Amino acid sequence: MKYYTIDTLEDIKSPVCLAMGVFDGLHIGHQAVIKEAVDAAINTDAQIGLLTFSPHPIKVLAPDKAPQPIVPDLTIIEPILAELGVDFMVVVNFDTDFSQLTYQEFIEQLHNACFDLRLIAVGQGWKFGYKRQGNPENLTALGLELGFEVKTAQIVKDNNEHGQRVSSTRIRSALSQANLSLAESLLGRTYSYQGLVEHGEHLGAELQARTANIKLHPNLLLPTGVYIVTVIIKPMKNSHQSLGYNKIQGVANLGYKPTLGKEFKHPRLEVHLLNWSGDLYGKTIEVFFHHYIRPEKKFSNLDELRKQIHQDIEDSHNYFNTTLEHLRSPLEGESNS
């Protein structure tokens, strides 16, 4: 995925269609905005871009109210964007100076930076610019003046009985309660963390369960506890080796490891991979959360911890075996005659 700023957009010597928004989480509502840009570019020579802002605007405008990021690392969503048809990303640095720009000033800058801005797609409730005075209606009027089209994606609702609006706020709430099935339905994918595998306490042999340890940001969306997970090992930078994207089954502890009697300042994600062995130190792994087993707890000794870890591993095996049974076709093994 290629990245641009407004200043470097001039490097794209072709027409562009942009999906514009904060895209915090890239949930199914955000994907509907992207689809408007992708559909507009069909049968044209236009490239499709996603324009977003970093940090989250609320972090600058009202830091005390800033939400925790659903996707703290944009590299997590690169494969999703590529699958949706996005060619590049424009990341706008949102600071105090930028927040003073009117929506007209911002759009004029964007228009002038592009070789040929064909279209901007936004969400129905999107507001932007100084004092949030920009909206789809006046953006459309400005597009007529400057020569680009505007598409507005309709609000997306879930499939529940009352059809609630899909939002990042609802996803954060679901994750905070470890309601992974609701979060997955709103995101359109399994929720995940990503990080670099570091050296831990090297208790794997003693506990008879080797783990990969990832140091995380202190602000967690998920509650601490034990989860059934799958893992993807990402290729290392500048490496021509392809590790593939096959998911490895596992069980993970998310938290502060209280049994060890240490004061960890940052939470850790400790993952035991089922039926897999190898050296993961220095590699980046992405961990997908499927099911919440239990809260994190402090055990009186390592023997109790060892017993519980092996119970968690057994629960994880049972979960995946049951899931595979459900996924098997009811016609499996029947004759075609």
What are the DSSP calls for 58-90, one per residue? HHHH-GGGPPPPS-S-GGGGHHHHHHHT--EEE
Q: With CA atoms as reference, report the closest residue to 253 among 223, 208, 284, 217.
A: 223
pLDDT, one tens digit for every residue, the chain (337 residues): 999 999 999 999 999 999 999 999 999 999 999 999 999 999 999 999 999 999 999 999 999 998 888 988 888 899 999 999 999 999 999 999 999 999 999 999 999 999 999 999 999 989 999 999 999 999 999 999 999 999 999 999 988 767 899 999 999 999 999 999 999 999 999 999 988 888 766 555 544 467 888 877 767 799 999 999 999 998 866 554 444 457 899 999 998 876 666 656 778 899 999 988 788 888 899 999 999 999 988 887 878 888 888 899 999 999 999 876 654 544 444 433 3
Secondary structure percentages of the chain, helix, strand, coil, to 5: 35, 25, 40
Q: 191-326 belongs to which homologous superfamily? A: Riboflavin kinase-like (2.40.30.30)
Rounded distance, CA 51 to CA 114, Å? 13
Query: Would you call the peptide bond into 55 cis, given omega within 30 degrees of 0 as the criterion?
Result: yes
Question: Is 123 in contact with 31 (CB distance < 8 Å)?
Answer: no
Rounded distance, CA 155 to CA 135, Å? 14
pLDDT of residue 129: 95
Question: Is 47 in contact with 14 (CB distance < 8 Å)?
Answer: yes
**Count of residues for the chain?**
337
HSE-CB for 138 with a 13 A CA cutoff: 13
Q: With CA atoms as reference, report the closest residue to 37 among 27, 52, 48, 21.
A: 48
In sequence order, what are the beta bridge partners of 232? 286
In sequence order, what are the beta bridge partners of 128? 134
Helices 180-187 and 168-176, axial angle in degrees (round to 10): 160
Domain boundaries, the chain: 2-153, 191-326
List the CATH code of the domain at 2-153: 3.40.50.620
In sequence order, what are the beta bridge partners of 248? 231
Burial of residue 31, with CB atoms counted within 10 A of its CB: 0-12 exposed, 13-18 middle, 19 or more buried: buried
Strands (E), 274-336: 284-294
Q: With CA atoms as reference, report the closest residue to 235 among 193, 283, 279.
A: 283
pLDDT of residue 201: 62
Q: With CA atoms as reference, report the closest residue to 34 among 116, 105, 89, 115.
A: 89
